Chains A and B, each alone.
Chain A
Amino acid sequence: MSLTSEHRAQCVQQLQHLARRATGVRGVMLALRDGRPFAQVAGDGIDTGKFAAMGSSLLALGSSVLRELSAGALDHLLVEGVEGRLVLVRIPESGGLLILCVLTTVDARLGLVLGQARACAVAIGEVLRIATRS
């Protein structure tokens, strides 16, 4: 699948929607699987290049660990810190090409963030699916 600037614009809309709906979101990004930024609604002080690279490393490591432990495919990855949380979700319908990275404050409600991140990933997957078919 090759991604265009039109895909990027539609993806940014979905990221903005997520950032507006969920409370405590510090930054949202779509990273390519090999660690480059594709689209972002990032907050101040976030190095998007490094954020994308770290997101892809974490997701790849998580997938490898689950594979080694025969625990199936990775659904999402949650990294909890004292002052913040990071949620990584693979975008469906993208052939593993894109990863949704959501950074939140520590007081953000985890269940809501997870649910909204998943919904956002599905919505972006739908955008890509429709774009691929048309």
Chain B
Amino acid sequence: MSQTYKIAFIGEPGSGKTTCIAALSRIKPLNTDVGCTDELLQLKETTTVALDYGELDLDDGGRLQLYGLPGQARFRFMFDVVRDGLIGVVLLVDATSPTGFDGFSETLTVYAEELRCVPFVVALNKHVGMPAGLPEAVQMRLRESQLPAPILTVDARHRPDMARIAKMLFTLLDYNRFVAIPEEEA
């Protein structure tokens, strides 16, 4: 019987969460975008206020449920809505944005508590032309926060890159079972 896995995307507004889910989903994605009313309007016209949802079939017959969460800290409560059953979180970073690192840093601060409880990867999205030293800076920030996580460079709209992210999360999940999940559940 095929398995269904649940993954959440977090990251600053404009990091590519909605675009990524729309590009990957085999079903018409659910989105909850509304027009921006603040300074974000200079960057983009709409923003997600609840969640994006899409589904992606894996080569082994499994299925990924993709949940995209709003980027603004005021919507942090939406993590509680999708928390149950998550196998992992993808922290998307717009690697070519001048505010990419700051956005990543803020997201890490906002979700630090949640990220200590679930495997996560940092995905440097739109990475072609990203500033030199960004992966190292991201790694340093992760270390300072005592939140170790793999850092991948991806085009989050491409299925093979998403499969790579999923594989990394499964690896983390397998590893974490040794330390985090009671034996009877493993």
Residues of chain A at the chain B interface (Cβ within 8 Å): 32-36, 49-50, 52-54, 56-58, 60-61, 63-64, 68, 96-97
Task: State which of A33, A50, A60, A68 has its C-beta within 8 Å of the C-beta of B74.
Answer: A50
Q: Which of A32, A60, A96 is in CB contact (< 8 Å) with B50?
A: A60
* Chain A residues near B34 (CB-CB < 8 A): 33-34, 56, 60, 96
| Per-position binary interface string of chain B over residues 27-58, scored 1 when its CB falls under 8 Å from any chain A CB and 0 otherwise | 00011111111101000000101110000000
Task: Give chain B residues whose Cβ lies under 8 Å from the Cβ of A60.
Answer: 32-34, 49-50
Q: Which of A34, A35, A61 contacts B35 (CB 8 A)?
A: A34
Report yes or no: A33 in contact with B35, Cβ–Cβ below 8 A.
yes
Closest to B78 in A: A57
The residue from A32, A57, A63, A68 contacting B75, defined by CB atoms under 8 A apart: A57
B residues sitting closer than 8 Å to A (CB atoms) are 30-38, 40, 47, 49-51, 70, 72, 74-75, 77-78
Residues of B within 8 A of A53 (CB): 49, 72, 74-75, 77
Q: Is the CB of B30 within 8 A of A34?
A: no
| Residue pair B32, A34 in contact (C-beta under 8 Å) | no
Task: Give chain A residues whose Cβ lies under 8 Å from the Cβ of B36.
Answer: 34
Taken together as a complex, chains A and B put the C-alpha atoms of A63 and B50 apart, in Å, by: 11
Instruction: State in angstroms the CA–CA spacing of A54 and B76 once bound together.
Output: 10
C-alpha gap A60/B48 in the complex (Å): 9
Inter-chain contact A36/B49, CB cutoff 8 Å: no
A105 to chain B, nearest CB (A): 22
Are B30 and A33 in contact, with the CB atoms below 8 A? no
Q: Give the distance in Å from the alpha carbon of A60 to the alpha carbon of B31 in the complex.
A: 9
Query: Beyond A33-B37, A57-B75, A57-B77: 18 further Cβ-contacts under 8 Å?
Result: A34-B34, A34-B35, A34-B36, A34-B40, A35-B72, A35-B74, A35-B75, A36-B37, A36-B38, A50-B74, A53-B75, A56-B50, A57-B50, A58-B50, A60-B32, A60-B34, A64-B31, A64-B50
A32-B37 in contact given A57-B50, A57-B78 (Cβ < 8 Å):
yes
The smallest C-beta distance from B1 to any residue of chain A, in angstroms, reads 27
Known: A33-B37, A49-B74, A50-B77. A56 touches B30 (CB 8 A): no
> Do A61 and B50 touch across chains, with their CB atoms under 8 A apart?
yes
Tell me which residues across on chain B come within 8 A of A96, comparing CB atoms.
34-35
How many whole Å from B92's CB to the nearest CB in chain A? 19
Taking the closest CB of chain A, its distance from the CB of B46, in whole angstroms, is: 9
Q: Which residues of A contact B31 (CB under 8 A)?
A: 64
**Can you list 29 A-B contacts (CB < 8 A)?**
A32-B37, A33-B37, A33-B49, A34-B34, A34-B35, A34-B36, A34-B38, A34-B47, A34-B49, A35-B49, A35-B72, A35-B74, A35-B75, A36-B38, A36-B74, A50-B74, A50-B77, A53-B49, A53-B72, A53-B75, A56-B34, A56-B49, A57-B50, A57-B75, A57-B77, A60-B33, A60-B49, A68-B30, A97-B37
Nearest B residue to A3 via CB reads B37
> What CA separation (Å) do A97 and B35 show in the bound complex?
8
Contacts of A49 in B (CB 8 A): 74
